[in-house]
Structure formats: structure tokens, C-alpha cells
Amino acid sequence: MKFELQYKDTKTNARAGLITTDHGVIETPIFMPVGTQGSVKAVHMTELKEDIKAQIILGNTYHLYLRPGIEILKQAGGLHKFNSWNGPILTDSGGFQVFSLAENRKLHEEGAEFRSHIDGSKHLFTPEKVMDIERTIGADIIMAFDECCPGDADYNYAKESLGLTERWLDRCFNRFNSTDPMYGYNQSLFPIVQGCVYPDLRIRAAENVASKGADGNAIGGLAVGEPTEKMYEMIEVVNDILPKDKPRYLMGVGTPVNLLEAIERGVDMFDCIMPTRNGRNGQLFTKYGTMNMRNQKWENDFSPLDTEGTSYVDSLYSKAYVRHLFKTNELLGLQIASIHNLAFYLWLVGEARKHIIAGDFSIWKSGMVTQLSNRL
């Protein structure tokens, strides 16, 4: 994997670059639709590529390990062939999912024991096993196995958690470096900076991660309960240390405003379930604010869903019709909203890139943040 830093904003830390993988080139800053179980919910691969303009999507190690299972993915020739996505893929290590199973998991030095949310069966994820699973899934970018510390954890817990994550990281790299890709193309391992909301821990973690010389680096453990301003502060602390010639990936974040604030602070890559999850609940994001499609105000509004939207659904369907779909619980409503929101997120990071290149990012971003905060 190669990263080319092309442009740097003169007034902020915003940047534009190119990530080159064996499955294609990614223009940064970029948002990555989440395909947790090998599928971006309610969206076809053709729509992802041709309408939404996704350049890279995610899969999740925990979920794919449980279903369909690693043996099926191996027989298929990896996730790319299994789900028919021929672009780059990134896999999360499952650390966040294990973290979310607080009542059904046990952490120790060897790894994380957990019970499946599907059938209660018992499993053990070690750093070595996770690397083997991610090799088999076959993503272009794979994540190190870590503990995702709660955003409200006290200092002692956060420090112990970081120590465990750092020891697991060494084991991830040892396993990764002693194994080969399975399907004839290269894979890159990204380490993850943890440390909760404590600057000294984040600095320690970032310095350790930077020392690994990885193809890219991730910032984890944010947007998990801490105040938004603390999240921005931690991004600044970490990005002062992470290499400037490698892509920076902020995991699991977030709202459209979160994306712009993080881009301003030097982040290149994002993922979040928000556009599809909120879309399935009737919330649409637009450049002028958010719309709740269940509201009565749209009942007889026959104007296009979004006159400035970039997806075909924005001009094909009216607000009144989409409201009707949600009120009657028709599956098409969930699909339209998901496609619209993903297309909007890809449009937003694409516009950020254009304004970074044009040299007016900070002015554009300031106005956009104000617009995005409206409720329509």
C-alpha cells in the first residue's frame, strides 16, 4: 500500500492524498461505508460503486468469523469474491464488538474470551488468531486486535487497558510479519492508538504506534461516551505525533460535523454506521441540515427528496412518498434513506477534498458546519 500526500491546507491540518492498494486507488479524505457482515445494509454493490461512489468498504472480523465462518470465506477465495465487491476492503479486528459484549466476555493476557451473541457459544480471540482470521477474510487493510476502553474509564483502568493493547499489538505484528497473504495481493496492518481521554496515555500510545512504521495508523476508542470536545482534543494530541506521510484513520466517527472537524485536524479516513442506521430510522442528512422523514410536514410535499443530492434516489422520489414508505414500514424506505445518506457522506468528504485542493477549506468548512447543524 502506498500513500501520497498531495495537498495541505495552509490554515488548518486538513490534507488531501491518494492511497493505492492492489484493489484500487482511494482519494482522501474518504468515508468508508460499513458492511459489517459482508453487506452494506439495504444497498447493492452496483449502487455502492456507481451511484454512492464508495471507494472502499468495511467488513467486521467478529461478525464474519461467526457467520458465514472463516472456512466458507476461504473456500470463496476471500471476502472480495464472496460479496462481489472488487474495490478495496478494510476489516475491523472485532475489538469494538468484543468490548460491546461487556457481560459476555472476559479479558486476560492471552486474549478475549466471549460468548456469541447468536447462540451463546464460547470463543477465544487472541492477537494471533485475529491476524489469521483477517488474513483469511482477505481485506486490503486489516486492523490490529486491541481493547476498546470505555470513554468514561478512570485513569488506572485506561492505563492498564493501554498496556494490554500495546502487548497485543506486538503479537499482532509478529504474527502478521510471519504469515503471507492468501489470495495473491498485498495486505496492510494498521495499529490503533488507544488511551481514552488522557493526553499522556494518548501520547504514549501514538509514539508507540508511530514507531511500528506501519502503512497507516488508526485512532480508536473515541465516540464511545466521552464529550465531543474531548474527542477533538485527543485527535489533535495524537495527530501531532503520528507520521504525516501515512494515512490516519479515525474509527467509528461519526456525524457530518464530526467528519469536518476531524478533517480539519488531519484525519484522512472515516467509517461509521450512522448514515445507514439513522437512515433506517428515517433521518436524512443534507447539506442544509437533517430531515426526519416521519414528520407530518412532509406528508404533502411532492418536491424531490433532495434537490441538491447526488444520488438517483434524490430526484426520483418525493419527500411525501418517502414519508409514506416510513409510515407504512415499507422496506424500500429504508433502502432509499440508506442510499441517500451514504451518497451524502461521500459527497461531503469529496467536497472537503476539493476545497483543500482549492485552498479555501477553512472558509467552506465554517459555513458548512452551520448548515449541517440545522433541523429541517
- Residue ranges for the known binding site for substrate are 92-96, 146, 194, 221
Which one-letter amino acid corresponds to residue 60?
Answer: N
CA atoms within 13 A on the CB side of 352: 37
Catalytic residue among 51, 215, 271, 306: 271
Q: Which residue numbers belong to the known binding site? A: 92-96, 146, 194, 221
CA 173/CA 286 separation, integer angstroms: 41
How many angstroms separate the CA atoms of 233 and 196, rounded? 11
Question: Of 92, 215, 306, 314, which is the active-site residue?
Answer: 92
- 154 is a catalytic site residue: no
Grid cell listed for 311: 444520488
| Torsion region of 38: left, alpha or beta (phi above 0 gives left; psi -120 to 50 gives alpha) | left
Residues 6+ apart with CB under 8 A from 156: none
Catalytic, 119? Answer: no
As to burial, measured by CB atoms within 10 angstroms (0-12 exposed, 13-18 middle, 19+ buried), residue 299 is: exposed
Residue 104 carries which DSSP code? G
**Do strands 112-115 and 105-107 pair parallel, antiparallel, or not at all (unpaired)?**
antiparallel
Q: Which of 95, 110, 207 is nearest to 150 (CA)?
A: 95
Q: Is 306 helix (H, G, I), strand (E, B) or coil?
A: coil
| Burial class of residue 98, CB neighbours in 10 A (0-12, 13-18, 19+) | buried
List active site positions.
92, 271
